[in-house]
Chains A and B, each alone.
Chain A
Amino acid sequence: MVETVLETHGLTMRFGGVVASDNVDFKLRARELRCLIGPNGAGKSTFFKCVTGLQTPTEGEVYMRGVETTHWMPHQIASLGVGIKTQTPNVMDSLSVFENIWLAARRFHDPKDANRKTQEIIERLALGSIARDDLGRLAHGERQRVELGLVAVGDPWLVLLDEPAAGMSAEDVERMTEIIHELNKTAAIIIVEHDMQFIRSIAQVVTVFHQGKVLMEDHVDRVMSDPTVRNVYLGKKV
């Protein structure tokens, strides 16, 4: 049996009267690639934030490799070996590409190994020509790629990506897809995404969120052809 790396039971998040995430049961196996889709306000990002510790769920539990992590802080979850990329680019703008990735590598390696790991990632992601540039001066796609580098350098076994393809050119998206596939060889990946094009190119199993709940969970082709999902996306009544 394949190990379950992430599991939630009855995950609920309320903001006042709004139920952003409603009793979500979710399960992810090792080296699985899962996409979370759904219209705006469906609760994908809230689910993401509850899992990563950026928000504490009102009810329910989160388990990672069998360890309960419900009330953990983000840094504790990341220390388990979970790579996280948030929706908005979260990078150290006035530091160089090298320093950014080095800081991520240093968390799991001593300084010497961190230098080596950083070089490796820079080569793998073809960032060599901009390694000494400050991140604040780079193009959006390059920054996204660096942020993926931050995630990859820690050799995570679980990767959580919130809208990795947002605002990127087709070429950048293609490169991003490659990196994600590479990561997927060793890690389970969750991608929260809006871009259907991107989902079609990368997804296997897709979980559809609607009004805080899981609407359906199936292979991408069946999800795409499902009339309920189509209605949800077009905003019609279910």
Chain B
Amino acid sequence: MPGSLSKDAITIILVTAILIWVMPLMIGTYTLTVLIVYGMLGLSLGLIWGFGGILCFGQAAFFGLGAYTYAVAAINIGESTVPMILAVIVPAAFAALLGAMMFYGRLNDVYLGVITLVVTLILFKFINSTAGPQYLIGNARLGGFNGIPGFQTLNVPGRPDDYIWGDSYFYVCAVLLGLVFFLVSALLRSSFGRIAVGIRENETRMSLLGYDVRARKTVLFAAGAAIAGLAGALFANWAEIVTPSLFSLGQSAEIIIWCIVGGLGTRLGPVLGAAGLAYLKFLLGQQSLVDNTLITGLILVLFVLFLPKGVVPALAGLWKVSFGRRPLGRIHQQRRMRNRGRVNG
């Protein structure tokens, strides 16, 4: 990546601040909040798929797990700080376990997709079947297909009666997304991130260079799940109810579509793809002429056919062609050297 981390930080702070100021003028903060949450969820898959080459069909599983962890913990604890932390840790630990199983078992490509898909299905089916009163974690009933309503929502740390909701909750989510985006940038600039990209490009070569590919993929997978878990907890706070549909295959598929449309291998792409498509879905949900999954499907097909790299890389390419400084490429350098030779000779 060009530039430096401090430059990244400044850009992220500025863009976040501007968006927090401008966006509510156009879209209600209630809707914006969920778009931010989806953006974070998109970023979680964008990180492990776009930069680690791990195609996970079960990102929704970590999202749902984060949401359920938060709900269950919030009911039991009665405040939100510890549940928020747990909602990050539990999915990450689950992913580390699942990832270790898959990567140390040398599963790759399509098998990885199948396993993560099946895990999501199992969680979905399991949570759906927990309607009975015997499914209890502490004081929290899992509630089966009815989900868990009525848990403590986000409060100011240390003051359980001081709820954060409405506009302030929107600000919290926006700042958290900015923070996560910064952490992802820092991770990708670190040696760990660069090595992860190397592994995406060529696993055999990286292991022949002496890197333990299995361990590194497991860690990255867990990091992605941690972000998805945080997004899940934020979603739970927004919706004030968690239901098994969080684990659904539709949700998983949507995350993948966000990443493809927004642009894989970029940080911004999945966030924009998620927010954009989710907003489109929201708008389409207000009319009854066409089914909105049909439109989502159509968009995916069109993108795969005509813009396979996604929106952000396409725009970046366009920007470079029209305004960007051309880097001193090979041809330029050769020409320069030839000229120099001529002067010397």
A-to-B contact residues, CB < 8 Å: 52, 54, 73-75, 78-79, 84, 86, 90-95, 99-100, 102-104, 106-108, 111, 129-130, 132-133, 150, 154
Q: In the complex where A75-B211, A150-B209 touch, is A91 in contact with B334 (Cβ < 8 A)? A: no
Residues from chain A with Cβ under 8 Å of B337 in the complex: 129
Residues from chain A with Cβ under 8 Å of B194 in the complex: 99, 102-103, 106
Residue-wise interface mask of B (202-237) relative to A, using a CB-CB cutoff of 8 A (1 in contact, 0 not): 101111111111000000000000000000000000
Residues from chain A with Cβ under 8 Å of B195 in the complex: 103, 106
Q: Binding site of B, secondary structure by majority: helix, strand, loop or mixed?
A: helix
Residues from chain A with Cβ under 8 Å of B329 in the complex: 132-133
Bound-complex Cα distance A52 to B209 (A): 11
Q: Is the CB of B202 within 8 A of A74?
A: no
Q: Is the CB of A74 within 8 A of B208?
A: yes
Chain A CB within 10 A, most for which of B191, B195, B201, B205? B205
- Give the interface size bracket for B toward A: 20 to 34
Q: Is the CB of B201 within 8 A of A92?
A: yes
Q: How far is the CB of B266 from chain A (nearest CB, A)?
A: 13
Q: Is the CB of B334 within 8 A of A73?
A: no
Chain B CB within 10 A, most for which of A90, A102, A150, A154? A90
Q: Is the CB of B205 within 8 A of A90?
A: yes
Q: Is the CB of B204 within 8 A of A75?
A: no
Q: Is the CB of A150 within 8 A of B202?
A: no
Q: Is the CB of B201 within 8 A of A95?
A: yes
Q: Is the CB of B210 within 8 A of A107?
A: yes
Q: In the complex where A78-B207, A78-B208, A78-B209 touch, is A92 in contact with B330 (Cβ < 8 A)? A: no
Partner of B330, one of A84, A94, A130: A130
Residues from chain B with Cβ under 8 Å of A102 in the complex: 194
Bound-complex Cα distance A3 to B124 (A): 61
Residue contacts A-B, CB under 8 angstroms, 30 given = A52-B208, A54-B204, A73-B207, A73-B212, A75-B207, A75-B211, A78-B207, A78-B209, A78-B210, A79-B210, A84-B208, A90-B202, A90-B204, A90-B208, A91-B205, A92-B198, A92-B202, A93-B201, A103-B198, A103-B206, A106-B191, A106-B194, A106-B195, A108-B210, A129-B330, A130-B330, A132-B327, A132-B329, A150-B205, A154-B210
Q: How far is the CB of A162 from chain B (nearest CB, A)?
A: 11
Bound-complex Cα distance A111 to B189 (A): 11
Residues from chain B with Cβ under 8 Å of A129 in the complex: 330, 333-334, 337
- Please, which residue of chain B has its CB at the minimum distance from the CB of A75? B207
Chain A CB within 10 A, most for which of B205, B208, B212? B208
Q: Is the CB of A95 within 8 A of B211?
A: no
Residues from chain A with Cβ under 8 Å of B212 in the complex: 73, 75
Residues from chain A with Cβ under 8 Å of B201 in the complex: 92-95
Q: Which of B322-345 contact A (CB under 8 A)?
A: 327, 329-330, 333-334, 337
Whether B186 sits at the interface, judged by CB under 8 Å, is no
Q: Is the CB of A107 within 8 A of B205?
A: no
- Please, which residue of chain A has its CB at the minimum distance from the CB of B202? A92
Q: How far is the CB of B194 from chain A (nearest CB, A)?
A: 7
Residues from chain B with Cβ under 8 Å of A54 in the complex: 204
- Please, which residue of chain A has its CB at the minimum distance from the CB of B327? A132
Whether B197 sits at the interface, judged by CB under 8 Å, is yes
Q: How far is the CB of B214 from chain A (nearest CB, A)?
A: 9
